[in-house]
Amino acid sequence: MNKSKPIATLDRRLILRDAVRELDMPSRRLFAKRAITLGGLSMLTGCSLSDDASVERFLTAVSRFNDRVQGWLFDPKRLAPTYAESMITRPFPFNAFYGEDEVPEVDGADFRLEVGGMVARKDPWTLEQLYALPQTSQVTRHICVEGWSAIGKWGGTPFSEFLHRVGADTSAKYVGFRCADDYFTSIDMPTALHPQTLLTFTYDGEKLPPKYGFPMKLRMPTKLGYKNPKHIMALYVTNTYPGGYWEDQGYNWFGGS
């Protein structure tokens, strides 16, 4: 790190936005085949992402990225670290593109998850049906591109399980998400099928509170925070690049960066 210009005093969001732009361009073709994940990037930067200091070093290294990344190798089976429940960050931070007083209120009783695109079964899902899917939970670190990270516990169903139930064409390239607050994002199919990618309905053992994304959040510990959509209303499988709220403003689409 450049000692005369400590990173903490710089606008991290802008630095990272520039960095991910650079990241995105020279290697786009490579990324199209091999999605960047946090695990992969941590290998490249030599940071373990297991504690606050290493996440800090990682974000600094990512902010200095350039086309070095062309030599990148990504292992889609790599797992993100998991943590003991005693390490959960309390209170877990809230973040969105608006303040906490504007969190969307979704009525669970009326709610139906829309499923579309390249899937065999497009019937909408009630919350009761979703809660009846096999459930698991994991304690993982959420890393926001704005320069903070926090450990939380999310519970839900493996997203791969859900995709199989709806008869998704898993040879398709993308899964796109639309949210109750006009947020949207999309992920690559290998990440959708990653064993740690969960469609979550609980936070810390309780029904997902509105601020953390009721009725559901897609939780991917291998991706940066902004790739993890809250308040999911609709999802669809597609070969047409769907973009995303931040992605369309210049953030790296793979968001594992």
The residue (of 174 and 212) whose beta carbon lies closer to ligand MTE is: 212
Nearest to residue 255, comparing CAs of 26, 29, 35? 35
Q: Are 229 and 185 in contact (CB under 8 A)?
A: yes
Calpha distance 143→131 (Å, rounded): 27
Helix (H, G, I), strand (E, B) or coil at 199: strand
Does the footprint of ligand MTE cover residue 241 (CB under 6 A)?
no
241 binds, among ligand MTE, Mo ion, none (CB under 5 to 8 A by kind): none
Does the footprint of ligand MTE cover residue 230 (CB under 6 A)?
yes
Binding site for Mo ion (CB under 5 A): 144, 225-226
183 binds, among Mo ion, ligand MTE, none (CB under 5 to 8 A by kind): ligand MTE
Q: Single out the segment in contact with ligand MTE by CB under 6 A; choices: 47-55, 117-125, 175-183, 187-195.
A: 175-183
176 binds, among Mo ion, ligand MTE, none (CB under 5 to 8 A by kind): none
Element (DSSP H or E) covering residue 17: helix 12-24
Does the footprint of ligand MTE cover residue 212 (CB under 6 A)?
yes
Pick from 14, 46, 94, 206 the residue near ligand MTE by CB under 6 A: 94
Strand partners, 200: 156, 217
Residue 63: left if φ>0, alpha if ψ -120 to 50, beta else—which one? alpha
Pick from 24, 181, 188, 247 the residue near ligand MTE by CB under 6 A: 181
Residue 182: left if φ>0, alpha if ψ -120 to 50, beta else—which one? left
Nearest distance in Å: CB 179, ligand MTE: 4
Nearest to residue 233, comparing CAs of 245, 216, 211? 216
The residue (of 27 and 192) whose beta carbon lies closer to ligand MTE is: 192
Nearest distance in Å: CB 8, ligand MTE: 18
Calpha distance 148→133 (Å, rounded): 32
Binding to ligand MTE, residues 118-147 (CB under 6 A): 144
Helix (H, G, I), strand (E, B) or coil at 247: helix
Calpha distance 4→68 (Å, rounded): 24
Tell me which residue has its CB nearest to ligand MTE: 225
Q: Are 33 and 73 in contact (CB under 8 A)?
A: no
Nearest distance in Å: CB 88, ligand MTE: 13
String marking each residue 19-58 x if it binds ligand MTE according to CB under 6 A: ----------------------------------------
Calpha distance 245→256 (Å, rounded): 16
Nearest distance in Å: CB 52, ligand MTE: 16
Contacts to ligand MTE by CB under 6 A: 93-97, 144, 179, 181, 183, 211-212, 225-226, 228-231
